[in-house]
Chain A
Amino acid sequence: MDYILSGLVQAFELLFQGDPETFSAVKTTVLASSLSVAASMVIGAPLGFWLGYARFPGQRPIRVGVDTLLSLPTVVIGLLCYAFMTRRGPLGELGLLFTIPGMAAGQTILGLPIVVAMTATAVETLDYRLKQTLLTLGTDRRQLLLSTLWEARFALALAAAAAYGRIVSEVGISMMVGGNIKWHTRTITTAIALETGKGQFALGIALGLILMTIALLVNLTISGLKRVSGQ
């Protein structure tokens, strides 16, 4: 038990002393996850709107496919991204492997199904009178899309928070696509995995505390949004 307690004490020392290695991992994590959540929202919200709003042949199988992708393992995404981004791969020339944009691209694939599925559900459950109201007030197609998404803004924020929670805690993509390079692509989760393997519990626990704080903030955001959207 002693080594766990001393690790915890050292962890707080690292945090309060502003240990640069710890905060480098935090910065990389926040940067990559923010980029990927933003990309997931920009791509996923219109797709989710289309999936929840339009009626077309094959809609149900697509919906089932999106729901299935919700449980896509991060190592599988990491493997696919690695295969595409490696020098021999189709995206090799872009030089994305072992970079933060490369990690963000992989994490976007992770967040996209969450945003698409939750946006589609939000749009499906909107008041049936909304579309008629917007049309009778004179919207064109673009205005109809934007206004509908704005009416579902609390649910969209909820989707963003859920995607962020999944992305910030993943290891597989960061490890395989980022390469866990110190001061460069090392994230909180990959650092925890590495430091624990080396028996350096203090840094691992310090990073774990930060990750749990981020997770707590995300959960508080989600419950706050649920309360607001339920009114």
Chain B
Amino acid sequence: MSAPLYQLKHIHQAYGGRRVLDVDYLEIEARTITGIIGPNGSGKSTLMRILAFVETPAGGHITFHGLPVGRVGLDARREVTLLSQEPYLLKRSVQANVSYGLRIRGVSHTGASVHQAMEQVGLDPSQFAHRSWRELSSGEAQRVALAARLVLQPKVLLLDEPTASVDRESSQLIQRAALNARNRWGTTLIVISHQLDWLRRVSDRILTMDYGRLVDEVAASSRLSDKPPS
């Protein structure tokens, strides 16, 4: 039996002496969709940053593909990417933003992949590719940020309230693009969202957090998304 994608044991995090995360045990299987809900300040985003390897917990043990996080190399880290609620766009054109991840991986011909990723999030490359980061609405910026992640065909996509500050159209496009990633490449999705209806429809299970702890777990039975490719 293969190791779970993530395994967390006794993970805790504190800022300025205040404990913000305290997870006794959590396993996340590959190719699943995990929804996370909870009030503001309940530790959801901290958990996401730890899962994305951008933050190291104060204590506890995490494995990724069965390997302790300290031994996870750059290639494995590059399988995981995080999209936050208010993403940062690099001070470049839309095309340069979307192709950035590919170029740092040494991919030189990025044009077709970038256009494809932009289309996935509903951005017409002929209109948007050469636009400056300054010329985008918040919904467009969020979609550019998602395209910059999707172009990498990530094995794990962490979405931290990706639709919280965007219009309804952008919200639907983002949700659809995330599910497409899961259906096309078997991407594992971990999603924080206040849109409970959507989470119920798409998630394999929903975790509830409060005061930094996992307080509830529900297996969602009526998921509508397609099965991932085997």
Q: Which of A130, A133, A153 has the most CB of B within 10 A?
A: A133
The reply to whether A132 and B152 form a contact with Cβ atoms under 8 Å apart is: no
Chain A min CB distance to B187 (Å): 14
Contact with A along B128-145 (1 / 0, CB 8 A): 000000100000000000
Chain B residues, CB < 8 A from A130: 88
Among B77, B82, B104, the residue within 8 A (CB) of A143 is B104
Contacts A137-B81, A140-B74 given: A151-B90 contact, CB under 8 Å?
yes
For residue B64, CB closer than 8 A to chain A, the reply is no
For residue A227, CB closer than 8 A to chain B, the reply is no
Chain A: interface size category: 10 to 19
The reply to whether B104 and A132 form a contact with Cβ atoms under 8 Å apart is: no
For residue B196, CB closer than 8 A to chain A, the reply is no
The reply to whether A133 and B87 form a contact with Cβ atoms under 8 Å apart is: yes
Chain A residues, CB < 8 A from B86: 129
The reply to whether B104 and A133 form a contact with Cβ atoms under 8 Å apart is: no
The reply to whether B104 and A138 form a contact with Cβ atoms under 8 Å apart is: yes
21 contacting pairs across A/B (C-beta < 8 A): A129-B87, A131-B54, A132-B52, A132-B54, A132-B82, A132-B88, A135-B54, A136-B54, A136-B81, A136-B82, A136-B83, A136-B149, A137-B81, A137-B104, A137-B148, A138-B78, A138-B104, A139-B104, A143-B104, A147-B100, A147-B104
The reply to whether A138 and B77 form a contact with Cβ atoms under 8 Å apart is: yes
The reply to whether B88 and A127 form a contact with Cβ atoms under 8 Å apart is: yes
For residue A231, CB closer than 8 A to chain B, the reply is yes
Closest to B151 in A: A137
Beyond A136-B149, A140-B74, A153-B91, 6 extra complex contacts between A and B, CB < 8 Å? A127-B88, A129-B88, A132-B49, A137-B100, A137-B148, A151-B91
Among A140, A143, A147, the residue within 8 A (CB) of B90 is A147
Contact with A along B32-52 (1 / 0, CB 8 A): 000000000000000001001
Chain B: interface size category: 20 to 34
Chain A residues, CB < 8 A from B100: 137, 147
How long is the Cα–Cα vector from A140 to B104 in the complex, in angstroms? Answer: 9
The reply to whether A138 and B82 form a contact with Cβ atoms under 8 Å apart is: no
- A residues bordering B, Cβ < 8 Å? 127, 129-133, 135-140, 143, 147, 151, 153, 231
- B residues bordering A, Cβ < 8 Å? 49, 52-54, 74, 77-78, 80-84, 86-88, 90-91, 100-101, 104-105, 134, 148-149, 152
Chain B min CB distance to A11 (Å): 44
Chain B residues, CB < 8 A from A132: 49, 52, 54, 82, 84, 88
Closest to A137 in B: B101
Chain A min CB distance to B189 (Å): 15
Chain B min CB distance to A52 (Å): 17
Chain B residues, CB < 8 A from A151: 90-91
Chain A residues, CB < 8 A from B104: 137-140, 143, 147
Chain B residues, CB < 8 A from A139: 104
Closest to A152 in B: B91
Chain B residues, CB < 8 A from A138: 74, 77-78, 81, 101, 104-105, 152
The reply to whether A135 and B53 form a contact with Cβ atoms under 8 Å apart is: yes
Chain A residues, CB < 8 A from B80: 136
Closest to A229 in B: B91
The reply to whether A133 and B90 form a contact with Cβ atoms under 8 Å apart is: yes
How long is the Cα–Cα vector from A131 to B53 in the complex, in angstroms? Answer: 12
Chain A residues, CB < 8 A from B152: 137-138
Of all A-B residue pairs in the complex, the 7 with the closest CB atoms, nearest first, are A129-B88, A138-B78, A136-B82, A137-B101, A133-B88, A135-B54, A143-B104
Closest to A132 in B: B54
The reply to whether A129 and B90 form a contact with Cβ atoms under 8 Å apart is: no
Chain B min CB distance to A141 (Å): 10
How long is the Cα–Cα vector from A212 to B33 in the complex, in angstroms? Answer: 65
